[in-house]
Chains A and B, each alone.
Chain A
C-alpha cells in the first residue's frame, strides 16, 4: 500500500464485514510516533482465528484463499520499528461486548515509514460504502485535532437523507479538508 490511509480503508472494511454498527477510527500522533487504531462492535474473532490472523492464508474472502490486508499493515508497522496488535472478543463467548480492535504503531522518522496520505478520501469512501454504519473518526496531532462523527451528521439529516447522498458526501469531504487546512 502506498498510503497508510489505504490500509485504514482496507482494515475498516473488515469491521463492516463483521457486521459492526459502530466503527471508531483513531489516529494519534506524537512528535515521533503515529498510532492507528480501528475498533468495532462487530462479531469479533474466535481465539483460533485471531491466532492466525496475520497469516496471509487466513482470510474471510471467498474468491481466493489469500488475504493480505492485515499482513500488509503488520509489515508496514514493523518495518518502521513499530508493531501491530489485535484484540478481539467473539460474540459466542461475549454476547454483550463483542468486537475487534486493531492497533498499529509506526515510527514516523524511520526511512521506511509509509506516508499517511489522503485520510479524508478513505473516510468518505467508508461512509459511501456503508451509509448505515456509524463511523467516528478522530485524528489527534500534537497541536490540534480533526474529528468527524456520523452520529452528529445523522441528527442533522434526519431519516430521509442517507449519508451516501452525493451532496452529503461532498460536504463531509470538504468539512474534513477544511479541518486539516485550518491554521492552528
Chain B
C-alpha cells in the first residue's frame, strides 16, 4: 500500500531540490483539456507527458500544464510546446504513444517531430 510515510519521504527528498528549480523550466508543454480535448482523448496524452517527463529526468527543464479550448477542436488532442527563443510547436491528434516520441525526440533531443505537427496535418 502506498503509505503516507512514503509521501513524507518524497517531501524529505524534495527539500534539497526546491532551490535548484527556481528560475528554470525553460520548456512549457501545454495540453488542451476542454470538453473537446477530453472527449478526443487528451487525458492519457497529459498523463503520458507528466509521467514521461518525470521518468526522463526532465522535470527541472520541462513543465507540463493544462489549458482550455485552443480553438481547433477538430485537431484535438492538441499539445503546444513553448521554448524560450524558439517558435511555438503545435502537435495535433496526439496519442500517448506519440507523446512518448515527442518527449524522446523533441523535449530530450531538441528536434520537433514534424510528422505530428499541425503543418503536416491540414
Contacts and interface: CB of A to CB of B under 8 A. Distances in A.
A100 interface: no
A156 B8 contact: yes
A182 B2 CA distance: 12
Interface in A126-184: 128-129, 152-153, 156-158, 160-161, 165-171, 174-175, 178, 182
Which size class do B's interface residues fall under?
20 to 34
Contact of B2 (A9, A10, A69, A174): A174
B33 interface: yes
B16 to A, nearest CB: 11
Chain B contact residues: helix, strand, loop or mixed: helix
B38 A166 contact: no
A121 B6 contact: no
A176 to B, nearest CB: 9
Majority DSSP secondary structure for residues of A touching B: helix
What are the nearest 8 A-B pairs in CB distance?
Answer: A166-B54, A175-B2, A129-B66, A63-B71, A63-B69, A69-B35, A161-B14, A156-B7
Given A166-B50, A169-B50, 18 more contacts: A2-B39, A61-B68, A61-B69, A68-B39, A72-B39, A121-B43, A124-B47, A125-B43, A156-B4, A156-B8, A157-B11, A158-B11, A160-B11, A160-B15, A160-B18, A170-B51, A175-B1, A182-B1
Interface of A: 1-2, 6, 9-10, 13, 61, 63-64, 67-69, 72, 118, 121-122, 124-125, 128-129, 152-153, 156-158, 160-161, 165-171, 174-175, 178, 182
